[in-house]
A = this chain, B = another copy of it.
Amino acid sequence: MMTKIPARLHLAENEIPKTWYNVRADMKQKPEPLLHPGTRKPCTPDDLAPVFCKSCIEQELDDNTREIPIPEGLQEFYRAYRPAPLIRAYFLEKSLDTPAEIYYKFEGTNTSGSHKLNSAAAQTYYAKAEGMTSLTTETGAGQWGTAMAMACAFYGIDLTVYMVKVSSQQKPYRKVLIETYGAKLIPSPSDTTEAGRKILAANPNTGGSLGCAISEAIEVALKTPNCRYVLGSVLNHVLLHQSIIGQEVKTAFHKYGVKPDVIIGCAGGGSNLGGLIAPFMGEKLRGEADYRFIAVEPASCPSFTRGRFAYDFGDTATTTPLMKMMTLGNGFMPAPNHAGGLRYHGMNSTLSQLYKDGYIEARSEVQTDVFDAAIRFMKVEGILPAPESSHAIKAAIDEALECKKSGEKKVILFGLTGTGYFDMSAYESYHAKTMSDYIPTDEDLAKGFATIPEIPLND
Measuring CB to CB, which residues of chain A are less than 8 angstroms from any residue of chain B?
6-8, 10, 12-14, 79-81, 87, 90-91, 109-111, 150, 153-154, 172-173, 176-177, 179-182, 375, 378-384, 419, 421-422, 424-425, 427-428, 431
Contact = CB atoms under 8 A, between A and B. Distances in A.
A428 B150 CA distance: 17
B427 A176 contact: yes
B177 A424 contact: yes
Contacts of A381: 80
A315 B359 CA distance: 63
A176 B424 contact: yes
B431 A179 contact: yes
A150 B7 contact: no
Contacts of A379: 153-154, 181-182
A111 B154 contact: no
A177 B427 contact: yes
Given A110-B382, A179-B431, 4 more contacts: A10-B10, A153-B379, A177-B384, A421-B422
Given A177-B384, A428-B176, A111 B153 contact: no
A398 to B, nearest CB: 21
Q: Quick one: copies of this chain in the complex?
A: 2
A180 B111 contact: no
A273 to B, nearest CB: 24
A130 B179 CA distance: 49
B154 A81 contact: no
Contacts of A181: 378-379
A6 B384 contact: no
A116 to B, nearest CB: 13
A178 B154 CA distance: 33
Contacts of A383: 110-111
Nearest to A5: B13
B421 A154 contact: no
A6 B79 contact: yes
29 contacts: A6-B13, A6-B14, A6-B79, A7-B13, A7-B79, A8-B13, A80-B90, A109-B109, A110-B383, A111-B378, A111-B382, A111-B383, A111-B419, A153-B378, A153-B379, A153-B380, A154-B382, A172-B428, A176-B424, A176-B425, A176-B427, A176-B428, A177-B384, A177-B427, A180-B375, A180-B378, A180-B427, A182-B379, A421-B421
Contacts of A110: 382-383
A182 B379 CA distance: 8
A424 B173 contact: yes
Closest 9 CB pairs of A and B: A173-B424, A6-B13, A153-B379, A421-B421, A7-B79, A111-B384, A176-B424, A176-B428, A109-B109
Contacts of A13: 6-8, 10
A7 B383 CA distance: 24
Contacts of A384: 111, 177, 180
B111 A176 contact: no
Contacts of A425: 173, 176
Contacts of A180: 375, 378, 384, 427, 431
B150 A382 contact: yes
B427 A91 contact: no
Contacts of A150: 382
A251 to B, nearest CB: 15
Contact of A80 (B182, B375, B382): B382
Contacts of A80: 7, 87, 90-91, 381-382
A90 B380 CA distance: 35
Nearest to A81: B382
Nearest to A79: B7
Contacts of A177: 384, 424, 427
A10 B8 contact: no
A379 B155 CA distance: 9
A181 B8 CA distance: 23
A387 to B, nearest CB: 12
A8 B431 CA distance: 38
A382 B179 CA distance: 14
Contacts of A375: 180
A8 B84 CA distance: 12
Contacts of A422: 421
Contacts of A427: 176-177, 180
A427 B79 CA distance: 27
